Amino acid sequence: MADLPLIEADPEIAQCIADEEQRQHDKLRLIPSENYASSAVQEACGSVLNNKYSEGYAGKRYYEGQQNIDTVEKLAIERHKSLFGVDHANVQPYSGSPANLAVYFAFCNPGDTIMGMGLPSGGHLTHGWKVSISGKYFNAIQYGVSPGDHLIDFDEVASLAREHRPKLLFCGATAYPRVVDFAKFAEIAQEVGAILVADIAHISGLVAGGAHPSPVGHAEVISSTTHKTFRGPRGGMIMCDDKHRKAIDRAVFPGLQGGPHNGTTAGIAIAAKLASTDEFKAYAKAIVDNSHVLAETLVSRGFDLVTGGSDNHLILIDLTGKDVPGKVAAQALDRAGMVANYNSVPFDTRKPFDPSGVRLGTPAITSRGMGSDEMKRLGNWMADVVDDVENEAVISRIAGEVKELCDQFPAPGVPVR
């Protein structure tokens, strides 16, 4: 078999990858769920570990030849246990959504009552939203945020929990710019006999780096992705108290999945090692500091932010007062080299596919080493674009300035030509 390099084996795909490398270098990537995985993580993910089948868990596999895979998976597990201070970690879920599905499968039967934050308030699809399997196969009760301050409405959470007595109570979000109070959720879960699940998909890097309070000690089960603020490969994981170890492991395999993606497992192990360094702690703090400065700059330029600001990695702009729809703003920002995503805001009067908000965050740009000066420039560029959204001359001038800034801050894991 001819073993050609990619450029010869498939020039079309090679070109797509080269173009994407260029895009990831040239643009300010502001989508808060995205990041730059390190070269070491990418190397592991693209390695021969992908050639191996290893259904089961270390020491209890259904295939032979696990001498190296068992070591990889044990390292990933042990590093997570010491990094987060948990009893147990399962690093096999293929991504964040399958991790949550495994949690449901571990504790619930179809039709059982579960509770999570509604999508329009910033919750994730897998927390019981009606189009998701979590909303179709379970009796999903959804809580939200208060109409006034857009903070999680704990009175509503408590009264819904008392009324419906869910088996699982999910907390954690996908578009919430403030700290999640895990202790308050735990109090409510305990009162109604629910298992509290903290989904830290967005903030696991902040938690690992000490820049967001940890759910450990409050939530019996913690689910996450590994590719957002955690800066690992695309993947998922579940951590839990000892008493839930068996249920979680069985739910992931053989309940939901077959063979784990071993290259990804190695990438997760590497990310966990990197996340336990002082350098990563500084990174996590810088993400939050940058988000503060960016939020302040945007407010000073007349933007309304959901909850008025940010104390994590994420900012949700409400454009209702600017009279520019979220999609129009996000598309103009992209042309100017600033890649965010349009998003619903709480109590949005527009439709989900054409909402009033723009969601952005600082994890990826902070990975490039940018700091408060760059955040101020960015906030002002964003305002210049949105305030004059049809002015292509302004947009292309800013795109040039963005490119110059990006050239000064090379991104980890992205080759520069």
Length of the chain: 417
Q: How far is the CB of 224 from ligand PLP (least distance, A)?
A: 8
Phi and psi dihedrals of 222, rounded to 5? -130, 125
Strand ranges inside 294-356, DSSP E: 304-305, 314-318, 338-339, 341-343
| CA–CA distances in Å: residue 289 to residues 90, 276, 315, 364, 365 | 31, 20, 12, 14, 12
The residue behind tokens 């009760």 is 141
Question: Is 95 or 290 the residue whose CB approaches ligand PLP more closely?
Answer: 95
Question: Is 33 or 38 the residue whose CB approaches ligand PLP more closely?
Answer: 33
Contact 237, 223 (CB under 8 A): yes
- Find the residue with minimal CB distance to ligand PLP: 96
Question: Is 117 or 382 the residue whose CB approaches ligand PLP more closely?
Answer: 117
Q: Which of 55, 156, 289, 334 is catalytic?
A: 55
Question: Is 314 or 386 the residue whose CB approaches ligand PLP more closely?
Answer: 314
Q: Considering only CA atoms, give the Rg of the chain.
A: 22
Give me the residues that bind ligand PLP (CB under 6 A), please: 33, 95-97, 100, 124, 126, 172-174, 199, 201-202, 225
Q: How far is the CB of 33 from ligand PLP (least distance, A)?
A: 5
Q: How far is the CB of 61 from ligand PLP (least distance, A)?
A: 25
- Integer Cα distance of 21 and 365 in angstroms: 15
Q: How far is the CB of 173 from ligand PLP (least distance, A)?
A: 6
Cα angle for residues 240, 246, 249 (degrees, 5° grid): 75
- Integer Cα distance of 113 and 139 in angstroms: 4
Tell me, yes or no, if 174 is annotated catalytic: no
Q: Which of 126, 174, 225, 307 is catalytic?
A: 225
Q: How far is the CB of 118 from ligand PLP (least distance, A)?
A: 13
Q: Which of 234, 273, 285, 376 is catalytic?
A: 234
Q: How far is the CB of 363 from ligand PLP (least distance, A)?
A: 12
DSSP 6-43: HHHH-HHHHHHHHHHHHHHHHSEE--TT-----HHHHH
Residues ≥6 apart with Cβ < 8 Å to 304:
317, 318, 319, 320, 321, 322
Question: Is 32 or 355 the residue whose CB approaches ligand PLP more closely?
Answer: 32
Tell me, yes or no, if 136 is annotated catalytic: no
Question: Is 27 or 202 the residue whose CB approaches ligand PLP more closely?
Answer: 202
Q: How far is the CB of 256 from ligand PLP (least distance, A)?
A: 13
Question: Is 208 or 398 the residue whose CB approaches ligand PLP more closely?
Answer: 208
Tell me, yes or no, if 55 is annotated catalytic: yes
Tell me, yes or no, if 130 is annotated catalytic: no
Give the type of residue at 392: E
- Integer Cα distance of 248 and 89 in angstroms: 9
Q: List b or e across 285-320, with b for residues whose CB sees 16 or more CB atoms inside 10 angstroms.
A: ebbbbbbbbbbbbbbeeebbbbbebbebbbbbbbbb
Q: Which of 199, 220, 249, 374 is catalytic?
A: 199
Tell me, yes or no, if 225 is annotated catalytic: yes
Contact 31, 48 (CB under 8 A): no
Q: Which of 21, 26, 43, 53 is catalytic?
A: 53
Question: Is 96 or 166 the residue whose CB approaches ligand PLP more closely?
Answer: 96
Instruction: From 375, 355, 380, select the one nearest 365 (Cα to Cα).
Output: 375
Q: List b or e across 55-65, with b for residues whose CB sees 16 or more CB atoms inside 10 angstroms.
A: ebbeeebeeee
Q: What is the DSSP letter of 60?
A: E
Tell me, yes or no, if 53 is annotated catalytic: yes
The residue behind tokens 């301050």 is 149
Q: How far is the CB of 13 from ligand PLP (least distance, A)?
A: 23
Q: Tell me which residues are annotated as active site.
A: 53, 55, 199, 225, 228, 234
